[in-house]
Amino acid sequence: SVQTGPEVIPSYSSSAMSEKAGGPVVDFSYVGIDAILEQMRRKAMKQGFELNIMVVGQSGLGKSTLMNTLFKSKVSRKSVLAAAQEKIPKTIEIKSISHDIEEKGVRMKLTVIDTPGFGDQINNENCWQPIMKFINDQYEAYLQEEININRKKRIPDSRVHCCIYFIPPTGHCLRPLDVEFMRRLSKVVNIVPVIAKADTLTLEERDFFKKKIREELRANGIDVYPQKEFDEDAEDRMINEKIREMIPFAVVGSDQEYQVNGRRLLGRKTKWGTIEVENIAHCEFAYLRDLLIRTHMQNIKDITSSIHYEMYRVRRLNENNTVVAHANGIPEHHLAAHEM
């Protein structure tokens, strides 16, 4: 029986009737609430998904290659717009390119945002500012759509869900530029730091470098994804703790296929053997892929929406209220008292 409020209404399902008629034995108490999951799946499949990934790091660290490796297709800007010997821009440019990807009936609009020119100048002071502005501009565009009187049924989402930050494989410590960028940007976007071209380090150097980076992130109060304060429960905490212990991921990217022991796989061929990109004994690319795509993609989007965008929205609406109040001649202390 199904209980709604104080009275109990007996639930007579057709399955129960067929049982009396000598049909198959069915659970008489079954209501069917779990069917909502199938409805949600069908709706999600119809709508498709959006994922916006930003890649940041100086030129020559393999950003384009890593994106192509992640999605096993030519998704990076360089692959699509192959320019003749691209020059390093004088200022930071922000360029995005979108693709429609489909796998097993699931459609996804993937946007890869590239930042050519970042960290390539002699003076890299404040080079994080154009990137911060771009991220906030996307929040602003979403906010304006949201507060429209006749708003769209589905607001196009250009908000940056994740920023992969490429650390050069020096093996020593983070540069002031790395610290400054992550310290400022971790407050507005999910940052996933990676050690680029990690095959240039020995395993001992790699472990030392990773440990050093984690210490520096802690010392500077930099909270990279997955952030500890957003763990939802004990199970979440346990999974995320394992990821936090591995950050930054030491990755190697390659869009070249090779034959190794009769198997075709992505790798980098050297004189002393092939570095297998998806082999966890060789590098941590597989862990990064699992985090971004297979286990935490929805969570990355949820945190963007419910934490980073929400903070931006609250700040902007408070600013608007203050401006309107001043225009109406209301003193600031009245406004503060009203807000409390």
Q: Which amino acid, one-letter code, is at 328?
A: N
Residue 224 pLDDT > 90: yes
Segment 29-71, tens digit of pLDDT: 889 999 999 999 998 888 889 999 999 999 999 999 999 899 8
State how far the Cα of 158 lies from the Cα of 150, in Å rounded to an integer: 19
Q: Provide the pLDDT for residue 17.
A: 46
Dihedral angle computed from the Cα positions of residues 289, 293, 295 and 296, in that order, rounded to the nearest 10 degrees? 110
Of residues 26 and 314, more confidence is placed in 314
pLDDT band of residue 324 (cuts 50, 70, 90) is confident
For residue 126, give every residue at least 6 positions away whose Cβ sits within 8 Å of its Cβ, in sequence order, or none: none
Kindly state the percentage of the chain with pLDDT values over 90. 54
Domains and CATH numbers, the chain: 43-76+87-322 (3.40.50.300)
The candidate with the shortest Cα–Cα distance to 240, out of 169, 300, 176, 200, is 300
State how far the Cα of 193 lies from the Cα of 307, in Å rounded to an integer: 20
pLDDT band of residue 332 (cuts 50, 70, 90) is low
Per-chain mean pLDDT for the chain = 86
Taking residues 229-239, report their average pLDDT.
90
Q: Provide the pLDDT for residue 157.
A: 94
For residue 211, give every residue at least 6 positions away whose Cβ sits within 8 Å of its Cβ, in sequence order, or none: none
| Pair 67, 61: CB distance under 8 Å | no
Helix axes 309-327, 332-339, angle to 10 degrees: 140
Determine the Cα angle at 335 with ends 331 and 340, to 5°: 150
Segment 110-149, tens digit of pLDDT: 999 999 889 888 888 888 999 999 999 999 999 999 999 8
State how far the Cα of 103 lies from the Cα of 97, in Å rounded to an integer: 19
81 to each of 71, 85, 93, how far by Cα in Å?
17, 11, 15
Name the strands in the sheet holding 106-114, side by side, starting at the edge strand that comes first in the sequence. 95-103, 106-114, 49-56, 162-167, 191-195, 249-250
Residue 21 pLDDT > 90: no
Identity of the highest mean pLDDT range in 62-66, 192-196, 333-337: 192-196
Q: Provide the pLDDT for residue 197.
A: 93
Segment 246-291, tens digit of pLDDT: 999 999 998 888 888 888 888 888 888 888 888 888 999 999 999 9
